[in-house]
Structures are given as structure tokens and as C-alpha cells.
Amino acid sequence: MELKWIEDFLSLAETRSFSRSAEERHVTQSAFSRRIRSLEVWLGTVLLDRSTYPITLTADGRQFLETAEEVLRLLTLSRAEFRTRSERSSLPVVTITALHSLCLSFLPGWLGAIRAAVGPMGSRVLPENFNICIQALVEGGYDLLLTYHHPGIPIPLDPTRHPCRIVGRDSLAAVAAPHGLMPDGEGRLPLLQYSRGSFLGRLATIAQAREGAPPTYPVHTNENSMAEALRSMALAGHGVAWLPKSLVAAEIASGALRLVSPEMPMEIRLYRSGERARPFLDAIWEAAAAPAENYAAPE
């Protein structure tokens, strides 16, 4: 069960309209309907009488409405208490959600540059996959989001509510161990893949279709979509992996991995929640306006 399902239900109980609530919750009506149905499946009951217009709550829906309001009230109070406690600490704290690979390669150096610009600060970081990072920013739990960007994959964020800055540059590079990788009878190399639909997997598909990319055939799929796992497989000689170059710069420099294709440039973007405004965060946002080359991926 997800908190957003409860928030969706409370919105629907107020508007009595799927279309109005979907607009209020910034999702498509079909996605909103699926979330309400998921809540009903999880509870094991029907909350809405969909045969009426406007829709009405069933008896179970009216009973659950009281529970939902109380649960959300208690969670909101707890979050406010924790945030107040954090704000009273000796250091201001910035909360960041970021792709796993950026947490390893880019974030440490970028945070150091920001601290140098704005002074001492604490940080709380959520390393996650792309979809959860987007959700964490949109639902208000985090100040900032760090992600890769390529024109081939739009970022589903409203620029008026979630402005962005380019804070770095990287590239997606096809790499493999220097020895022992044998092509098949058609001259194709074994390919290490991300899970279906993952963000880096979609980027890798674009890169693989570019001119100069080696012909490949799939031999392994990493179900959790973490680039670090594919790096380990590539180092062990299992195949070609499309990885952020910053993540494998040291291995390329040492000769443990070699480039087997032209690189595909990517931006590193910082998104901000427009609903979380405070002077400390404004200072970080201004410091992030430094030229992206200051944080470029290692060569």
C-alpha cells in the first residue's frame, strides 16, 4: 500500500470526480483510476459506487474515509515534527534523491563544491531508480533531484513546478574487458542489458542504435537496473555494457575496461521542488548555477 493511494482517495472523496482529482494530483486519469483500484484491491473492498454521477462512497468507503483522514493527519504531524527537529539542528540539511550511479560518481564532488560555496551543511540522500526519484521529488519529500538527461527521453516534470539546471556533463560509453570477448559467427558481441523499461536501459537502447555502435546480442539482463552490477559483469569479461563514463573512468584509465563504441553525450540535471522554498535552499540553487564544466565527468 502506498501513501499516494490514500491521498488520491481523499481527493476523490472531496471532488467526486476522477477527472478533477487526476488533474489535482498531476497524473493522467487512467493512472489515477489504476491507483484507486489498487487501493481497493489492497483493502479487499469496493470504496466507490461508480454507477452514480457524481460518484459516491460505498458504506465501506465512508468508513475508510475516517481512517484515511486520521492516517494522513498523523503522518503529516510526524513529518512536520521531524522537519522541525532537523531545522533546529546545528546545520541546515538538504535532501537529495539521485540515480544510484550519480551517487557514486558525481554527487560526492558536487556536494563538496556546493559546501565550499554556501558553507557547512548536512545532507540526506536517497539513491534510487529513476521512477522512484521522480516520485520522491514530486510528492514533496526531497528538495532536489539529480538525474541524467538526453533529448531522446523526456523528463516527466512540469518546468514551472520543478525548474532545472544543467550541473554536469557525462556520456554513455560501451565498455568491455580488453581480452577474452569473442564475437559470435555473425561478428556480434555479447551485450549486458538493463531491465526492461529502466531509465539507463532506455538510454542504452538509443546509444546502441547510433552509428558506430558494435553489433551485439543479449547474454545477460540485470533485473535491478543498477549500473554498478553491469560494471562488475563487464570487468569479469561477460560482455559489453553501456555505462556512464564517470562510473568507469578509473577502469578505462587503468586498462581494466576499454571503449568499444563512440560515446553518447548526456547532461546531468538538477531539478528543484518549487514548493520547498527556504533561504538555505535558494543559496544552494544559486551555487548550482556555476558552469557545468566545473563538474564534468573525469576523462
Q: Identify the CATH number of the domain in which residue 110 sits.
A: 3.40.190.10
Same domain, 132 and 215: no
Could you tell me if 187 and 254 lie in one domain? yes
Q: Looking at per-residue confidence, does 96 or 53 come out higher?
A: 96
Same domain, 101 and 249: no
Dihedral sign for Cα atoms in the order 281, 286, 292, 298: negative
pLDDT at 274: 80
Specify the number of domains making up the chain: 3
118 and 142 fall within a common domain: yes
Of residues 197 and 41, more confidence is placed in 41
**Coil, helix or strand for 172?**
strand
Q: What are 28-81's pLDDT values in tens digits?
A: 988 899 999 999 988 989 999 888 888 899 999 999 999 988 888 888 777 777
> What does the alpha-carbon distance between residue 168 and residue 187 come to, in Å, rounded to a whole number?
36
pLDDT in tens, 218-230: 998 887 668 999 9
Percent of residues in the chain assigned helix, strand, coil, to nearest 5: 45, 25, 35
Same-domain check for residues 110 and 248? no
Q: Which long-range contacts (CB under 8 A, 24 or more apart) does 12-15 make?
A: 12/36, 12/48, 12/55, 13/57, 13/61, 13/65, 13/68
Distance CA(164)–CA(197), nearest Å, equals 24
Query: Quick one: which of 58, 41, 61 has its CA closest to 49?
Result: 58
**HSE (side-chain half, CA atoms, 13 Å) at 43:** 21
Same domain, yes or no: 144 and 280: yes
- Domain extent, residue 154, equals 92-169+267-295
The model's confidence at residue 269, banded by pLDDT at 50, 70 and 90, is: very high
Residues 271 and 165 in one domain: yes
Give pTM, 2 decimals: 0.69
Looking at residue 266, its pLDDT comes to: 96
Is the confidence at residue 210, as pLDDT, over 80?
Answer: yes
Q: Same domain, yes or no, for 186 and 259?
A: yes
Q: Indicate the residue among 32, 67, 86 that finishes a domain.
A: 86
Same domain, 179 and 259: yes
